[in-house]
């Protein structure tokens, strides 16, 4: 493999069956990588407590059923804890971290305090200011602290960073003192994703645009760790009929549901392809041909609003 070769990835959390929105993002991530003649890797982001063992296999099976393939064995973040711990130790040694004892509620209240609301979703830096004595008292209270990144200079608070996204152009977003390690010791998403993308040699991250606001944080962290940040392409999500992010409540939205309605995997693939403005294929093996003509510049910039098929009386009961 030459160092210039594109390497993309798909990084689902095995917490449930993939729905049409997830499958469409997987398809796009695959198309971006394969159309560039690149590698495509699978990583399970399974540090979350909501992981269920059956979904490792079922997610692989569903994505393969649509004709997507990947290189090598899928990796699991839960097998790679040492990598994340090393990165955290590195930041800790450089005094780029601090312990945070705040509850979600305290953060929400502090963010709304009269001395000026924090920018949306940003941690206001409460525990950064704790004196040694206060910190000891909090520790003694028994609440296990999370570990946060000391992102901006002291007293400056959240900063901003601009990243360039292949689909969105320049995007400027907050880099606050985000969590690196949760109170229970689990490495947090933003830390694990940065370390793993670098460790796996990912050159281009393609994922749902709900993660665009996290991207400046991730690019900043990659810089601190001396890692090469990948390029990014965020793709629009799929929305349900009420305009909310697609979810189970929206009906037959998983591959299993669609097969139960009598559809075949190629029908589901064609539904996704048509939502992207591509022509239908005869079989899932024809996906390679779609990859040969794939042009990211022609992708829709708006979310796809999924309209469920008109329910039959039997389906309406479920």
Binding site for ligand GLU (CB under 6 A): 11-13, 45, 193, 207, 211
**7-10 β-sheet, strand order:** 7-10, 39-44, 75-76
Residue nearer to ligand GLU on the CB measure, 12 or 125: 12
Minimum CB separation of residue 126 from ligand GLU in Å reads 27
Phi and psi of 232, rounded to 5°? -125, 145
Quote the tokens at residue 228.
């090469």
Minimum CB separation of residue 193 from ligand GLU in Å reads 5
Phi and psi of 123, rounded to 5°? -75, 130
DSSP structural state of residue 135: H
What are the C-alpha distances in Å from 33 to residues 29, 69, 125, 206, 215?
A: 6, 11, 39, 9, 20
Residue nearer to ligand GLU on the CB measure, 34 or 128: 34
Residue nearer to ligand GLU on the CB measure, 71 or 263: 71
In whole angstroms, give the CA distance from residue 198 to residue 44: 15
Residue nearer to ligand GLU on the CB measure, 152 or 201: 201
Minimum CB separation of residue 45 from ligand GLU in Å reads 4
In whole angstroms, give the CA distance from residue 206 to residue 106: 34
CB-CB contact of 29 with 207 (8 Å): yes
Residue nearer to ligand GLU on the CB measure, 45 or 250: 45
Minimum CB separation of residue 267 from ligand GLU in Å reads 25
Phi and psi of 184, rounded to 5°? -85, 5
In whole angstroms, give the CA distance from residue 230 to residue 194: 9
CB-CB contact of 310 with 261 (8 Å): no
In whole angstroms, give the CA distance from residue 295 to residue 277: 11
**97-100 β-sheet, strand order:** 97-100, 146-149, 179-181
Minimum CB separation of residue 135 from ligand GLU in Å reads 32
CB-CB contact of 284 with 64 (8 Å): no
In whole angstroms, give the CA distance from residue 115 to residue 244: 33
Residue nearer to ligand GLU on the CB measure, 50 or 89: 50
Minimum CB separation of residue 223 from ligand GLU in Å reads 17
Minimum CB separation of residue 214 from ligand GLU in Å reads 8
CB-CB contact of 67 with 269 (8 Å): yes
Minimum CB separation of residue 313 from ligand GLU in Å reads 35
DSSP structural state of residue 177: -
Residue nearer to ligand GLU on the CB measure, 57 or 267: 57
Minimum CB separation of residue 305 from ligand GLU in Å reads 20
Residue nearer to ligand GLU on the CB measure, 118 or 218: 218
Residue nearer to ligand GLU on the CB measure, 11 or 299: 11
């Amino acid at each position: 493999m030459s160092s210039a070769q594109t390497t993309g990835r798909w990084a689902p959390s095995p917490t449930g069956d993939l729905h049409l929105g997830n499958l469409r993002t997987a398809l796009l991530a695959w198309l971006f990588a394969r159309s560039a003649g690149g590698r495509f890797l699978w990583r399970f982001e399974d540090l979350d407590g909501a992981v269920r063992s059956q979904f490792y296999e079922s997610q692989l099976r569903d994505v393969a059923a649509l004709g997507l393939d990947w290189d090598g064995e899928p990796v699991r973040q839960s097998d790679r804890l040492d990598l994340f711990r090393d990165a955290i130790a590195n930041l800790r040694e450089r005094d780029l971290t601090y312990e945070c004892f705040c509850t979600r509620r305290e953060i929400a209240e502090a963010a709304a305090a009269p001395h000026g609301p924090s920018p949306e979703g940003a941690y206001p830096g409460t525990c950064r200011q704790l004196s040694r004595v206060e910190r000891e008292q909090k520790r003694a209270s028994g609440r296990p602290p999370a570990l946060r990144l000391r992102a901006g200079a002291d007293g400056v608070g959240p900063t901003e960073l601009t990243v360039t996204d292949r689909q969105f152009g320049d995007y400027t977003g907050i880099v606050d003192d985000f969590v690196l390690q949760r109170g229970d010791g689990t490495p947090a998403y933003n830390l694990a994703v940065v370390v793993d993308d670098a460790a796996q040699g990912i050159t281009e991250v393609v994922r749902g645009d709900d993660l665009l606001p996290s991207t400046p944080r991730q690019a900043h962290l990659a810089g601190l760790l001396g890692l090469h940040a990948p390029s990014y392409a965020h793709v629009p999500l799929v929305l349900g009929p009420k305009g909310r992010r697609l979810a189970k409540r929206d009906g037959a939205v998983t591959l299993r549901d669609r097969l139960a309605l009598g559809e075949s995997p190629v029908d589901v693939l064609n539904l996704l392809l048509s939502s992207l403005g591509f022509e239908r294929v005869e079989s899932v093996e024809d996906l390679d041909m779609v990859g040969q003509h794939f042009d990211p510049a022609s992708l829709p910039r708006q979310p796809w609003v999924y309209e469920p098929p008109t329910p039959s009386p039997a389906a309406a009961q479920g």
